[in-house]
Chain A
Amino acid sequence: MNGFDFSMRASRTIAAAGVLGAVAFSVTPSVADAQTTVRMVLWPGPEGDAMQKVVRAYNNGQGKTDGISVDMVLLSRDDTFAKETTEIATRSSNVDIYFTATYNIGFFAQGLEPIDDIGIDKSKYFSAAIKGLTIDGKLYGVPLDVSNHFLYYRTDLVNRLLKDESWKKSYRDIARKVLGEARDPKKPSEWTADDYLATAAFFSRSENPDSPTRYGTALQAKTSPFNITLWDDLLWGLGGSWTGKDGKAALTSDAAHKAMSIYRTIYEKHYTSPDASQWEYGETNAALQSGSAAFAMQWSAAYADLTSKDKSPQIYDKIAVAPEPGDPHRTHVHTLAISLNKQSRHKDAARKWMAYLATPKAMTAYAQAGGIPSQPAVLKDNVKSNAAFAKIAENVRKYGYSLPTFTGTFQAMQSITEDLSSAWVGVDATDDALSKANDKLQSLLDR
């Protein structure tokens, strides 16, 4: 629609007046000191908090030399991508740097400028991060945080289960009932999907009236695109995947059926709260913090809150992490990133800032401010700032997998969650849900 261009030109004078108006309302420093302002979108949370500190340091330090001032804009999680979608679809130059991730970089790629020319050292990053941000051989983002999942569990409860003979006996009975075979409890680091299910049953009052917790675990079964990734860990841990070796959709595999039946059993037998049909990250934390659930698959970012005495007074000293259940253990990994708007009017300045962010120095500051950078060496050197860094680095390296990068990755996350979540909570039949999800995935792959 080139029609916009003429009106764009025609209205430049009015636009100038509008910009003056905007400056009057904004709190940014005066226009006089010939700095280029680079506007960058991020979302609030640990990433935004950490970036705020790095931005401040840059603006007061090297930014002065570079003649660049970075203005960071935060929007709530869902709104960030909605706003970016609007801006990219209208080819707006309103912001210079977009917030992206490996799961939506293909979706946004049309509006982004490749950044191979800023000269970042790709070898410093997890290879999955670089791979996930590369499309047709071109790099579209500077990796920021790496995100993965852990199994968070209550050490007091699990240790007792491993020692207490009467608990062990009761565990064997429950395992026989739930899995069809008696088995002994195992350490969480050795759990397969079956152990996960049996232990969930053991710590649920519906199966074990003596359980200290009401529910064994907390499922994130809400129709939110991020929730499919936790279920994916079970799928991958059972040897499955979204796609088969031939690259075709493979959500009707035996592994997929098994992973579905585990989720559905947990939900229908009340090994998680019936409200879990509308749960996501926050509610899962709440279930662990309030002591109502014994363990849960959850994002690596929860580590800080769940082990904080202030935020989780009841459980902070009784929480540990293990790899996600499975044989082999697998964890979803995605990388957040920042990308250059193709329509930006300050590309050179934006490139300078992005190059700065790619340095170990900047990423070290980021790590110390609470971010989880995807440079393994930085994680290793900063274990003091976050005890989870070592585990994150290890899990990402040993067990990490990425969703395939294509234009429809995010849409597939949404649509697969939509189909499968209704079967997790018993609304639709599992077979129907899987074949529906499989068809949609295939049509997105074909696009």
Chain B
Amino acid sequence: MTRTKQWPIMVTLAVALVALVVNIPLIGALLTSFKPDGAITSHPLSIPVPGTLQHYANVLYAAGYDFPLFFENSAIIAFGTVVLTTLISVPAAYAIVRLKLGGQWLLNAVAAMRLLPAMFFVLPFFVMLTNVGLLDTVWGMIVVDTFLNLPIAMVILARGVADVPIEIEEAARMDGASSYGILVTMIVPLLAPSIAAAALITFLFTWNDYIFAIIITTSAARTVTVGVSQFVTSYGILWGDVSAGVVLSVIIPIVFAIFGQRYLVSGLASGSVKG
């Protein structure tokens, strides 16, 4: 806000320090990914100049894994999940919070699904997707990830809807607008920041899913996260290759976050609605 003008550069330094600390694992990955194997085990603090690109080559093609396919799968699964989750949760959040569908019972039930440890669903999802022929397909993963992320999206959007001033809606009703019209023309625009926030979090959590990607996919729908874990071998971890894989795996989420940041930061908790 307006109040604090003292020492803005100190704020920059303080925030940069925090950013540095929380990103130590990524910084470690970045440094390690350019080091030859010998340097990884002997010089933890060295700066890799000149660096090797061998680890990136291993990840992308040299080790015999089809990473372009893994990236394609991860992207399709993450975007598909975001679209499906958004289409389901925006109208439902409005119906529950504003149209009082079932009191809060439905929202409670959806939120509670996130409390069940993932292992509960491993066998049931495997059986279900096998029977409908969706095992090892991106569609199967989209269904599973939508299921897993609906509780989060619903909670964020329910919060967002609750913050939309009810007066606006009442005025529109007096003018004869239908619930659908209100949702589309008034709620959704005001809710945009919350939708962006829910979408980003859904995207990240889907991109980062591991246990279900292991169980549901075999080869055709394999994702980046599972692909990188292939460098955790029977005998030890290929530090350089895993590091390169980690660096590559965050590029798409970072791009997504940079584009989404404007919406996101202006409204995770709901809010373009001021006063």
C-alpha spacing A27/B131, complex, angstroms: 23
Q: In chain A, residues 63-85, which have Cβ atoms closer than 8 Å to a Cβ of chain B?
A: 71, 73-77, 79, 82-83
Point out the residues of chain A lying under 8 angstroms from B214, CB to CB. 75, 79, 82-83
Give the distance in Å from the alpha carbon of A309 to the alpha carbon of B64 in the complex.
24
**In this assembly, does A410 line the interface, its C-beta being within 8 Å of a C-beta of chain B?**
no
Instruction: Tell me if B36 and A310 are in contact (CB < 8 A).
Output: yes
- Across the interface, A311 reaches (CB within 8 A) one of B37, B126, B127, B132, namely B37
Q: How far is the CA of A132 from the CA of B169 in the complex (A)?
A: 73
A-contacting residues, B222-248, CB 8 Å: 226, 229-237
B215: chain A residues at CB < 8 Å are: 82-83, 86
- Say yes or no: A86 contacts B123, CB within 8 Å: yes
In the assembled complex, how far is the CB of residue B152 from the closest CB belonging to chain A, in whole angstroms?
A: 25
| B82 smallest CB distance to A (angstroms) | 19
Question: What's the minimum C-beta distance from A85 to chain B, rounded to whole angstroms?
Answer: 10
Check A4–B230 contact: CB distance below 8 A: no
User: B65 to chain A: which residues have CB within 8 Å?
Assistant: 74
Contact for B235 among A21, A23, A46, A313, CB less than 8 A: A46
Asked if A286 contacts B138 (CB within 8 A), the reply is no
> Which residues on B sit within 8 Å (CB–CB) of A44?
230-234
Contacts of A312 in B (CB 8 A): 38, 41
| A21 in contact with B137 (CB, 8 Å) | yes
B73: Cβ under 8 A from any A Cβ = yes
Is A107's CB within 8 Å of the partner chain B?
no
- At the interface, yes or no: A366 with Cβ under 8 Å from chain B? no
Chain A: CB-nearest residue to B234: A45
Given contacts A25-B73, A289-B42, A311-B41, contact A77 B234 (CB under 8 A): yes
A25 and B138 contact, Cβ closer than 8 Å, known pairs A18-B132, A289-B41, A301-B235: yes
A52–B63 Cα distance when bound, in Å, is 10
- Check B123 against A27 for contact (C-beta < 8 Å): no
Residues in A294-315 with C-beta less than 8 Å from chain B: 299, 301-302, 305, 309-314
A95 vs B66: C-alpha distance when bound (angstroms)? 19
1/0 contact string of B64-103 vs chain A (CB within 8 Å)? 1110010001000000000000000000000000000000
Please judge, given known A-B contacts A25-B221, A311-B41, whether A86 and B122 are in contact too, CB under 8 Å: yes
Counting chain A CB atoms within 10 Å of each CB, the highest count among B69, B127, B134, B235 belongs to B235
Which B residues are CB-close (under 8 A) to A75?
214, 226, 229-230
B130 at the binding interface (Cβ < 8 Å): yes
Closest B residue, CB atoms, query A89: B123
Distance of A403 Cα from B200 Cα, bound (Å): 50
C-alpha spacing A46/B36, complex, angstroms: 19
Q: Of B69, B130, B234, B237, which one neighbours A27 at CB under 8 angstroms?
A: B69
Interface members, chain A 257-309 (any B CB < 8 Å): 281-282, 285-286, 289-291, 299, 301-302, 305, 309
Among A17, A86, A290: residue with most chain B CB under 10 A: A86
B263 within 8 A of A: no
* Mask of A83-97 contacts with B, CB within 8 angstroms, 1/0: 100110110101100
Among the 9-residue stretches A6-14, A158-166, A238-246, A437-445, the one with 4 or more Cβ atoms under 8 Å from chain B is: A6-14
User: How many residue pairs, one in A and one in B, have C-beta atoms under 8 Å apart?
Assistant: 134
Q: Given that A76-B230, A289-B42, A299-B235 are known contacts, is A26 also in contact with B132, CB under 8 Å in the complex?
A: no
Are A310's CB and B38's CB within 8 A?
A: yes
Q: Chain A residues with Cβ under 8 A from B137's Cβ?
A: 18, 21-22, 25
Contact with A along B236-266 (1 / 0, CB 8 A): 1100000000000000000000000000000
| Residues of the A chain whose Cβ atoms lie less than 8 Å from the Cβ of B229 | 75-76, 79
Q: Which B residues touch A25, using CB under 8 A? A: 69, 73, 137-138, 220-221
CA distance A39 to B219 in the complex (A): 10
Contact with A along B110-124 (1 / 0, CB 8 A): 000000000000110
- Cβ-defined contact, A310 with B233, below 8 A: no
Q: Using A26-B219, A79-B214 as known contacts, say yes or no to A314 and B234 having CB atoms under 8 A apart.
A: no
Verify if A43 is at the interface (C-beta below 8 Å from B).
Answer: yes
Which of chain B's residues have a CB closer than 8 A to the CB of A8? Answer: 131
Measured CB to CB, the closest approach of chain B to A152, in angstroms, equals 13
A156 to nearest B CB, angstroms? 16
A185 at the interface (CB under 8 A from B): no
Min CB distance, B37 to chain A, in Å? 5
Q: Does B176 contact A (CB under 8 A)?
A: no
Which chain B positions have C-beta within 8 A of A285? 41, 236
CA distance A299 to B233 in the complex (A): 14
- The answer to whether B127 touches A4 (Cβ under 8 A) is yes
Contact B136 A22 (CB under 8 A): yes
For the complex, give the distance between the alpha carbons of A80 and B46 in Å: 35
| Measured CA separation A249–B38 after assembly (Å) | 44
* A and B contact pairs by CB, cutoff 8 A, 8 listed: A25-B69, A26-B220, A45-B234, A86-B123, A94-B130, A94-B218, A282-B236, A311-B37
Given known contacts A16-B133, A18-B135, A311-B37, what 19 new A-B pairs fall within 8 Å (CB)?
A: A4-B127, A15-B131, A18-B139, A21-B133, A25-B221, A43-B233, A44-B233, A45-B234, A46-B234, A71-B219, A75-B226, A76-B233, A79-B229, A94-B135, A95-B218, A282-B236, A285-B236, A305-B235, A310-B38
